[in-house]
Amino acid sequence: MPSDLTLKTMNGIHRALLKISGGRVGWEASKMPVLELTTTGRKSGQSRSVMLTSPLQEGSTVVVVASRGGDDDHPAWFLNLRDNPDVEVSLKGAPKQRMRARIATPEERARMWPLVVADHKNYAGYQTKTTREIPLVLLEPAT
């Protein structure tokens, strides 16, 4: 599974690509829109940003997958938003929007997971690599 250093390096390269291209390249990956998710560090209290793909959007709700490449541990960004669900999201380079994150209910996941893996089979492969159920996170506009 990817190490924290590898994941941070990949995020850095992604950000560099966006910067170098003036935002013309990097806002789509594997036929999914890319977003920047900013959470509050559960230990540090500092802002933490990560680049993620969204395999599913329903109305104003954006869905992200806490897969970490099929690792047995949840990604740090997931643990952060689990502890503090107030986040900021910049979808495809748009201005940041305050959103509230929540983990999909079992019923929501049962409905959405087949939609996610139908078009993005890599997530199904990630699920086979781990015993944990990979969470879907719903990002909804803050009220």
User: What pLDDT does 5 receive?
Assistant: 61
| The token pair that represents 48 in the structure block | 């933490």
Find residue 99's DSSP bridge partners. Answer: 87, 141
CA distance 64 to 128: 18
pLDDT at 21: 53
Name all domains of the chain by residue range, CATH numbers in brackets: 4-141 (2.30.110.10)
Of 32, 34, 31, the residue nearest 10 (C-alpha): 34
Tokens, residue 86 = 């107030």
Provide the pLDDT for residue 130.
95
Give pLDDT, residue 84. 97
Which pLDDT tens digit goes with each residue over 18-30? 565 556 655 565 6
Report pLDDT for 43. 94
pLDDT of residue 124: 93
Give the pLDDT confidence score for residue 7 in this predicted structure: 56
* Helix, strand and coil percent figures for the chain, each rounded to 5: 35, 30, 35
Question: What pLDDT score was predicted for residue 18?
Answer: 56
Residues of the chain with pLDDT under 70: 1-30
